[in-house]
Chain A
Amino acid sequence: MIVMADVTVTVGWYMILAAVLFSMGAAGVLLRRNALVMFMSVELMLNSVNLTFIAAGNELGLVEGQVAALFVMVVAAAEVTVGLAILVAVFRRRSTANVDLLSELKG
């Protein structure tokens, strides 16, 4: 718990911040058409989750929160590698990163 002037920053603040970040990320994924920006939004969502883990771990005095955050970072790195590779491949063929144009698998 951090004390600043007469305001006490509790774990709830972190949760609210994480929720705001997560919602911004989700909105970005849903509203933007550029694949690169969508990836950045996904990263935002992942990091908001990391924040939740760390805050909760700190509050509860458990190390698992940090462990989970490390895992998420590793997986996120891997995911970005694959995702960006796909993105580059798509861009080379199509000269665009607009995901709405990639709808060949439409039923």
Chain B
Amino acid sequence: MIDYLWLLIALPLLGALTLILFGKHIGEPASGWLASALVVIPFLIAAALTVPFLNGAESETVFLFSWIPVIGANASLLWDPLSALMTLVVTGVGGLIHVYSVGYMHGDPRYPRFFAYMNFFIASMLTLVLADNFALMFVGWELVGLSSYLLISFWFVKPSAAAAGKKAFIVNRIGDWGFLIALMMIFAAFGTLDFAIVFAEAHGVLSVGLATAITLMLFIGATGKSAQLPLYVWLPDAMEGPTPVSALIHAATMVTAGVYMIARTAVLFEMAPISLAIVATVGALTAIFAATLAVGQRDIKRVLAYSTISQLGYMVMAVGLTAFTAGIFHLMTHAFFKALLFLGAGSVIHAMSDEQDMWKMGGLRKYVPITFVTMAVGWLAISGLFPLAGFWSKDEILASAFAKGGFFLILWGIGVVTALITAFYMTRLIILTFFGDKRWDEGVHPHESPWTMTIPLIVLALLSAIAGLWNTPVRLGLEHFLEPVFGDIHQVHPAGGLTVWALALISLAMVVIGILIAYGRYGRGDLPNEEGGYWTAALEGYGIDNFYGKVIVLPGKTISTWLAMVFDTKVVDGVVNGLAYGVRAFGSSMRVLQTGWVRSYGAAIVAGSLGVILWLLLQGGAF
């Protein structure tokens, strides 16, 4: 059975190739269904392959073919509970989003191409997840960046979409640079990039300093891909892509790659307490920073984008606390409820004929009942209301921070406040969209989406509701499932007994307070005036983009312009042209010798011969 593992990557890749070459002939909606099938089938294969792990089967490595054996990099796949879980999330949520896209992308002139890119993304993401060495993981890492770029700028006719795609790609490159440096350091230290060897020998080979350097470089990679401070700026702009893309790539799967990578390299991070503290702090700061930005957005997708950054902050904080299971747990539940929220938002946008401004919505619950109910589940799940998914996963992270104590109590406090803000902005989103008066323009006729879009919503809503029950303080199902991966790692665990429930009560109280404040502000008749001061600043992302523009982009452009206009034309061209002028001048001076008269050449030959003879005679001592 494990022999079929390669199909997980091959099938979506086949779909991408087929749709790129023959998409026009396959047409709509057949190409959408083909693409969906080529994600759902890998999901079924992955599910079948995961079953043995429930019975305590061993992890397996499947060697496909030799790639660069000398650096320990082969096309070889690692099948352990962690990669299995990631694969199930990617193909499961990905499959649902493919089905959703069949309806959502209806009528798009480049319909088959969209699904080609989506399938390509799935193949890339599975390469990243299943790789058994850093090199192959890096290949997947770059390919998901490429497919992200292609999908963000899918509607490239819009200049803002093209710019957003470029921005995502370039900002990610900064992170990729860190990742690449880390790979070089790992290779220099171990002489191989094979996970198994690196993790087995890490304690013997690495000093704490070297481990810290490597992990910090890896973390730079994670901040790019997982949109953490300070490299988060690409994600809000990535909302220019079609909504299913936002749901799949920029909420559920690709952006969690950084968290997955840190969890995968847990052995290295464990050796570097300073790196871990930095990771946890950056995560917590990102969580609260992005949450405060989410509060002030008017665009429904941008609220969710900042919310995603904030939730990724929770995950990064979790892995920084060495609560790897909690981080992966939140990764999974977040994939469910954030994909649900994005798809719900897409359904709303669809219903409103492409309106994204929440101030032009309102009162939609009667018009799109299924979307409303499912999104309400997502709202309560992300807010962390008992007993929905977000409650269990987020509280495990917070309780882990509390259990670690000391400095990490501050992070716990930040996390709790973020929970309050999260509940507030999500309630704001729901009320502005579904409750209150109709604020939409004349001529908009909201309608419920087709079944291809609502079925995925319903499935995701069910998952968002129940997925949390897999890992509760009473029954640590996921913890047990991931035991083979993190068994040797010293993870921090929430304190047992009453403490964990007391902490849960505190964050639950925060959630309720957040919801009540939002209700008090938006839920009773007239909406507050949200202009000026904080609100303007939040809409502009606190001017961070502007700041980066002035401090990094502008100097970069100035230097590049100078290099292109002055250095290149004067110095580089000057050297090349100067060389040419020199050669030409020398040639001109030699031209006089070329008289064109045969007899002068003859004279030169004779003179030369006489010279040689004379020289030989002199050498021979004739005179």
A: which residues have CB within 8 A of B?
Answer: 26, 29-31, 33, 38, 99-100, 102-107
Contact = CB atoms under 8 A, between A and B. Distances in A.
Interface of B: 590-599, 602-603, 606
B599 A30 contact: yes
A26 B610 CA distance: 12
Given A26-B606, A30-B606, A99 B594 contact: no
7 contacts: A38-B598, A99-B598, A99-B599, A104-B596, A106-B595, A107-B591, A107-B594
Residue of B591, B594, B599 with highest tally of chain A CB at under 10 A: B599
Contacts of B598: 38, 99-100, 102
Contact of B596 (A33, A38, A106): A106
Contacts of A99: 597-599
Nearest to A41: B602
Given A99-B597, A100-B597, A102-B598, A107 B603 contact: no
Nearest to B588: A107
Contacts of B595: 103, 106-107
Nearest to B598: A99
B596 A30 contact: no
Given A26-B606, A30-B606, A105 B599 contact: no
B594 A30 contact: no
Contacts of B593: 107
B591 to A, nearest CB: 4
Given A30-B599, A30-B602, 15 more contacts: A30-B603, A30-B606, A31-B599, A38-B598, A99-B597, A100-B597, A100-B598, A102-B598, A103-B596, A103-B597, A104-B596, A107-B590, A107-B592, A107-B593, A107-B594
Contacts of B594: 105-107
Contacts of A107: 590-596
A107 B586 CA distance: 13
Contacts of B597: 99-100, 103
A3 B364 CA distance: 135
Nearest to B593: A107
B617 to A, nearest CB: 14
B603 to A, nearest CB: 5
A31 to B, nearest CB: 8
Nearest to A29: B602
Residue of A99, A103, A105, A107 with highest tally of chain B CB at under 10 A: A107
Nearest to A103: B596
Contacts of A106: 594-596
A31 B595 CA distance: 16
Contacts of A103: 595-597
B141 to A, nearest CB: 61
A103 B601 CA distance: 12
A33 B592 CA distance: 21
Contacts of A104: 596
B545 to A, nearest CB: 64
A79 to B, nearest CB: 15
A107 B594 CA distance: 5
A99 B596 CA distance: 9
Nearest to B587: A107
A15 to B, nearest CB: 14
Contacts of A38: 598
A2 to B, nearest CB: 28
A105 B598 CA distance: 10
A54 B602 CA distance: 26
Given A26-B606, A30-B606, A100 B599 contact: yes
A50 B602 CA distance: 21
Nearest to B592: A107
A20 to B, nearest CB: 16
A103 B596 CA distance: 4
Sort A-B residue pairs by CB-CB distance and give the 10 closest, nearest first. A107-B594, A103-B596, A106-B596, A107-B591, A99-B598, A105-B596, A29-B602, A30-B602, A30-B603, A103-B597
A35 B593 CA distance: 22
A9 B606 CA distance: 30
A42 to B, nearest CB: 10
A100 B597 CA distance: 6
A105 B599 CA distance: 14
A107 B596 CA distance: 7
B427 to A, nearest CB: 89
A100 B595 CA distance: 10
A29 B601 CA distance: 11
A107 B591 CA distance: 5
B185 to A, nearest CB: 60
A104 B596 CA distance: 6
A102 B595 CA distance: 11
Contacts of A100: 597-599
Contacts of A31: 599
Contacts of B606: 26, 30
Residue of B593, B602, B603 with highest tally of chain A CB at under 10 A: B602
Contacts of B592: 107
A35 to B, nearest CB: 8
Nearest to A102: B598
B538 to A, nearest CB: 76
A26 B602 CA distance: 9
A40 to B, nearest CB: 14
A105 B591 CA distance: 11
B594 to A, nearest CB: 3
Residue of B591, B593, B597, B606 with highest tally of chain A CB at under 10 A: B597
A94 to B, nearest CB: 14
Contacts of B596: 102-107
Nearest to A105: B596
A64 B485 CA distance: 88
A16 B557 CA distance: 82
Contacts of A30: 599, 602-603, 606
A83 to B, nearest CB: 12
A31 B603 CA distance: 9
Contacts of A26: 606
A101 B58 CA distance: 94
A55 B597 CA distance: 35
A45 to B, nearest CB: 10
A18 to B, nearest CB: 14
A99 B594 CA distance: 15
A29 B606 CA distance: 10
Contacts of A105: 594, 596
A100 B593 CA distance: 15
